[in-house]
């Protein structure tokens, strides 16, 4: 680990389904961090089980997401990429930090309230304390920056509060992490309800594009994308569907939205929608093909995630040893 570089940590839950919105909005930018930061990326499978999971499905989705991260451009030589449950220090530090986190702090977490409402039949202790596990994820690696969306900023603030409280008692043990809201990538909206963000939780599968969707599925979804009856390919608040397609085409081709409007001036939606679909197919093709190649080569993938866990565990162990010594545990 290079001492003069700041450390950046990101965790992503293994839903196994990265949408076009996830990719263009965030993941596409992740490889740029690995040249300027000590970049640490984790597939956070321990976080996933706060909601009931199908075990076989969780295993498959964890491996698929791990492969997708590499296919999106993360380099295991430049970054540390690992599966959270393979590094036991996460759970160990989480318990210690639980004892330095106030009940009232956890009660105020917005996501706990939201998820409790969504999973009223399974409001478990993990759902309540998972922000502490997230704090452990961050603090184990002495992370300086944590790229998050606005909805997760509260959790980084909690990690800072816990670090401050612990440091106040025992001295400078943890670095103080900061939420890093990356420059906004393309904001990709639903293809069927363009006033809403693209989301894989939508019941209408035509509303989102998955990175792993085959070309024919992508083309079908774009041909069904909602536009309007007015015609004319230009951006306007009155034309959310067309505006969304213009933004998507601009994001995957690198053209400016103004240039896209100019290029398709006078053309109809019948020609424009398939053209956007084809551009997306070509942008996602190398990611899908590389993911499939990695998943077929189980031995190589296993080598990569084991090496990633070893690198992560070596860093995590240093922090955990220091924490255990500070709180008074007998050294192993």
Of the residues 115, 221, 239, 311, only one is catalytic, namely 115
Integer-rounded Cα radius of gyration of the chain: 22
CB 35 within 8 A of CB 213: no
Catalytic residue chosen out of the listed positions 17, 200, 322, 326: 200
Tell me the β-bridge partners of 301.
Answer: none
DSSP for 178-241? Answer: EEE-PPP---PBPSSSTTSB--TT-S-GGG--BTT--HHHHHHHHHT----SS------TT-HH
Among 17, 197, 223, 322, the one annotated catalytic: 197
Active site residue 273: no
What SS3 class is residue 41? strand
Our answer to whether residue 115 is catalytic in this structure is yes
Q: Is 221 annotated in the active site?
A: no
Neighbour-count burial for 82-97, b at 16+ CB within 10 Å, e otherwise: bbbbbbebbebbbebb
> For 18-171, where are the alpha helices, taking DSSP H only?
20-25, 30-36, 45-48, 55-71, 89-98, 103-107, 110-118, 125-140, 153-170
Which residues are part of the catalytic machinery?
115, 197, 200
């Amino acid at each position: 680990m290079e001492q003069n570089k700041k450390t950046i940590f990101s965790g992503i839950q293994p839903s196994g389904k990265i949408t076009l919105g996830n990719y263009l909005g965030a993941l596409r930018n992740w490889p740029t961090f690995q040249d300027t930061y000590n970049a640490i990326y984790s597939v956070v499978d321990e976080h996933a089980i706060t909601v009931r999971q199908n075990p076989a499905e969780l295993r498959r989705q964890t491996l698929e997401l791990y492969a997708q991260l590499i296919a999106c451009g993360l380099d295991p030589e430049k970054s540390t990429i690992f599966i959270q449950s393979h590094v036991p220090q996460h759970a160990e530090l989480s318990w210690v930090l639980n004892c330095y986190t106030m009940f009232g702090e956890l009660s105020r977490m917005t996501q706990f309230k939201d998820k409790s409402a969504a999973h009223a039949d399974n409001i478990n202790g993990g759902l309540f304390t998972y922000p502490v596990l997230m704090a452990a994820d961050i603090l184990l690696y002495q992370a300086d920056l944590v790229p998050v969306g606005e909805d997760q900023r509260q959790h980084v603030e909690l990690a800072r509060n816990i670090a401050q409280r612990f440091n106040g008692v025992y001295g400078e043990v943890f670095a103080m992490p900061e939420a890093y809201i990356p420059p906004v990538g393309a904001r990709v909206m639903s293809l069927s309800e363009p006033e809403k963000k693209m989301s894989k939780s939508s019941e209408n599968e035509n509303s989102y594009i998955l990175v792993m969707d085959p070309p024919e599925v992508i083309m079908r979804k774009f041909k069904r994308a909602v536009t309007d009856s007015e015609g004319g390919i230009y951006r306007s608040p009155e034309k959310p569907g067309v505006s969304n397609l213009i933004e998507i085409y601009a994001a995957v081709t690198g053209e400016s939205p103004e240039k896209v409007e100019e290029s398709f001036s006078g053309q109809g939606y019948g020609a424009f929608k398939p053209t956007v679909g084809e551009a997306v197919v070509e942008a996602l093709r190398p990611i899908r093909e590389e993911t499939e190649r990695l998943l077929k080569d189980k031995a190589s993938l296993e080598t990569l995630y084991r090496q990633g866990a070893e690198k992560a565990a070596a860093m995590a162990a240093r922090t955990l040893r220091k924490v255990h010594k500070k709180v008074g545990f007998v050294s192993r």
